[in-house]
Structure 1
């Protein structure tokens, strides 16, 4: 595929990153069947405690997707905010975002990336497995969540 997008790290909260977060939260509520305020706090995704990446169309600047991580502990970061707008799916955007995130996580000194997903997200589960994530027991705040399917990917430093 001819890559028609660029990926950038968000240094401050901007309309494109907010748009990704809002659409992701709407999709999560629809898939899991609940309504609640968006719990994502952008400060968690900004340096030094995290990173937020967005993919934007090279020609138009239109936001296409996002991925982020937050510090879980000194050796692990937690993947979050993985979202690609429906009209841009199946174009390797999520894989490209994950690749950029993994590179930055290595630079930031992490040895693994952990995440939580669930059965209502079959596309995400397949993506993570194909990207080298291995299923692990629930961790942190997800231990008491019966819908949690957790993964880890060891990254080489």
Structure 2
């Protein structure tokens, strides 16, 4: 891999917004609609109750991911907005971002990471399973959707 830097970035930062918009477009292509209607307040990603990270590869922003404290369990970090541009895929970037998100959550005192994904995201499912995530009871905005997959892992 070339030079990869993963840095905390405000959720409303223009670079973060561009990556999140690309993530929503990708989800929209897969699922239709806006891509993800989960309510998100940008302040949820502000420390110490959350964080948002951007990965830079050779000086270009290529990936993002964040966590927010899960509202039903203050010990859990809900991972949101994991996304890697197609040009940076299959290079270890997504795993590096996931591990950085987990470390950020752990440093803030979270003991478990949880997330939602869907059956039309097989590459995300493979990433999470490779990283040690296991299926858990569905919990989030899409918990009643037939194709939702909820995962969790102790940090």
What TM-score, normalized by structure 1, do the two folds share?
0.88
Q: Which residue of 2 aligns with 1:86?
A: 86
Q: Is the 8 A contact 1:10 1:46 kept in 2?
A: no
Within the candidate set 64, 67, 78, 1:66 is matched to: 64
Structure 2's unaligned 5+ residue stretches are none
Q: Which residue of 2 aligns with 1:95?
A: 95
User: Structure 2 vs 1, CA of residues 22 and 40 (structure 1 numbering), >3 Å: closer, same or farther?
Assistant: farther
User: Structure 2 vs 1, CA of residues 29 and 87 (structure 1 numbering), >3 Å: closer, same or farther?
Assistant: same
Q: Which piece of structure 1 moves more, 118-127 or 44-53?
A: 44-53
Runs (4+) of structure 1 exceeding 3 A deviation are 35-41
Mapped to 1, the partners of 2:82 and 2:140 lie a distance apart of 19
Mapped to 2, the partners of 1:146 and 1:92 lie a distance apart of 30
Deviations 1:36-95 (A, max 9, x none): 78654322222232110000134xx32110010111021101011100000111110001
Mapped to 1, the partners of 2:42 and 2:130 lie a distance apart of 28
Specify which structure has the higher proportion of strand. 2
Mapped to 1, the partners of 2:132 and 2:94 lie a distance apart of 14
Q: Which piece of structure 1 moves more, 22-31 or 137-146?
A: 137-146
Q: Which residue of 2 aligns with 1:45?
A: 45
Mapped to 2, the partners of 1:37 and 1:74 lie a distance apart of 23
Mapped to 2, the partners of 1:118 and 1:37 lie a distance apart of 11
What TM-score, normalized by structure 2, do the two folds share?
0.90
Q: Supply the RMSD in Å over aligned alpha carbons.
A: 1.8
Q: Which piece of structure 1 moves more, 6-15 or 35-44?
A: 35-44
